[in-house]
Structure 1
Amino acid sequence: KAVRRLYDTESVQIKWPNDLLLDGKKICGILSELQLDENGVIDYAIVGIGVNVALSAADFPAEVAATATSLNTSLHKDFTCDQVLVAIMEDFGILYDKWLLLGADVVMKEWQKLNCTVGKHVLVKDNDQVVFAGTVIDVDEEGAIIVRNEQGIVQSFNFGEISIR
């Protein structure tokens, strides 16, 4: 939401579970880890966000040049990394407050609105090995993707990564 607002674009979408795409190319990756206490309550969470802000096309290695881009290059803007960081932290704070007050459902609904994965044919991978292939038919309330293969078998995944085909 912060990138969409700052760059005045609707083209940024979420690829399950943790990437941001701009016109199908990766501009951001998000990794998170959490620790639960003995009662199953979140003790802490660590979130790492990497955003391609000001890289030129020549800055990308050949193996990712076709699948990655930067915000300034693609959207013909000239924002600094600091400006992008401030926008992200502002929106992160707003979403965190919503989560504290209203629970995860509110944040999940906003996440689902920006998701571009439903309806796409995907390869589900775990440790770079394909474990399932099919079409994403939904994302459940806990963030797991629901995938149906060509034989009609439906499986839920709350781990791994996907390649959109």
Structure 2
Amino acid sequence: MESDLIRTARGMRFLGVPAEFHESLGSTNDEAFRRAEEGAPEGLVVLARHQTAGKGRLGRTWFDQPDRSLMFSILLKPTIPLPSYSLLSLTLASSIAAAASMLASAITIKWPNDVLQDGKKFCGVLAESRALRPGDPPVLVLGAGINVGYSEEDFPPEFRATATSLTTRDGSRPDMGGLLSKILGHFGHELAMLEERGMIDLLRFLGSRMPKPGSPVRVVLPDRVVEGEYVSLTVTGALQVRNASTGAVETLTAGIMR
């Protein structure tokens, strides 16, 4: 029986480009780059029912089981400066949060790339860029993995305290095809905002989805922990935090916000 995701993918277009569905891939991000090398246009969406080598941030592996995760990658060819590419990762996370909020409660974003329900992660976004030929501007691939069909016991023990599966307000499992359509609708709108009004308006919009300025934050870095108050996002998607110990405003480009 054909799943709702496959039915949706067959007729789906993003930025005018037909989506591509695969039963199994090593990584949807890798497939998007391979298709880019073949000349695929901006807007290609690559979906997979299962990934055998899914990727997370910082070299981590993305855990999935067939038909229990919505996994896709989007090929983009941005005209914004390379340092601001990471802002588009947050933009996709924002779109996922907006789409999920139409179906479910207690949805929040955790900088830089996670989406949570009731404080637990159900979605991660991974941004990768690559120049296809010497001298060419890098293309950007944004990959997302969204848990939609797991119970707590399905997760490896080390993830059970922090991971969850998106659950609708009536306690049911979301329709993956419908969820993807909503996500791409929001993301297309936010890309149009960037194209028409520039990064400052997009940054203002994304800032409205972050903690209120002055809210306490804790950011875990590879070599230290920064505790203080949230200040703002920069045009590169970096996090500005007023360090509680020094009073100085620090600009953080990596880490995990708690």
What interval of TM-score do these two structures reach, taking the shorter chain for normalisation? 0.7 to 0.9
Runs (5+) with no aligned partner, structure 1: none
Structure of larger gyration radius:
2
Q: Distance in 1 between matches of 2:228 and 2:130?
A: 32
Q: Distance in 1 between matches of 2:160 and 2:125?
A: 19
Q: State whether structure 2 residue 232 is matched by structure 1 residue 139.
A: yes
Structure 1 runs of 4+ with >3 Å offset: 34-37
Within-5 A mapping of 1:1-165: 1-5=98-102, 7-9=103-105, 11-35=106-130, 43-72=138-167, 76-116=171-211, 119-125=215-221, 129-142=222-235, 143-147=237-241, 148-158=243-253, 160-164=254-258
Runs (5+) with no aligned partner, structure 2: 1-97
Pairwise CA distance, 1:105:
2.2
Identical aligned pairs, as a percentage?
A: 28
Give yes or no for contact 1:112–1:139 (8 Å, CA) kept in 2. Answer: yes
Equivalent residue letter for 1:121: V
Give yes or no for contact 1:27–1:52 (8 Å, CA) kept in 2. Answer: yes
Of 54-63 and 109-118, deviating more is 109-118
The SS at the match of 2:210 is coil
Higher strand proportion (structure 1 or 2): 1
The SS at the match of 2:115 is strand
Q: Distance in 1 between matches of 2:170 and 2:207?
A: 24
Pairwise CA distance, 1:18:
0.7
Supply the RMSD in Å over aligned alpha carbons: 2.7
Could you state the TM-score of these two structures normalised by the residue count of structure 1?
Answer: 0.80
How many residue pairs match? The answer is: 156
Q: Distance in 1 between matches of 2:123 and 2:104?
A: 17
1:31-74 Cα distance to aligned partner (Å, 9 max, x none): 1133579xxx9642210011111211111111111111111278
Could you state the TM-score of these two structures normalised by the residue count of structure 2?
Answer: 0.53
Pairwise CA distance, 1:154:
2.9
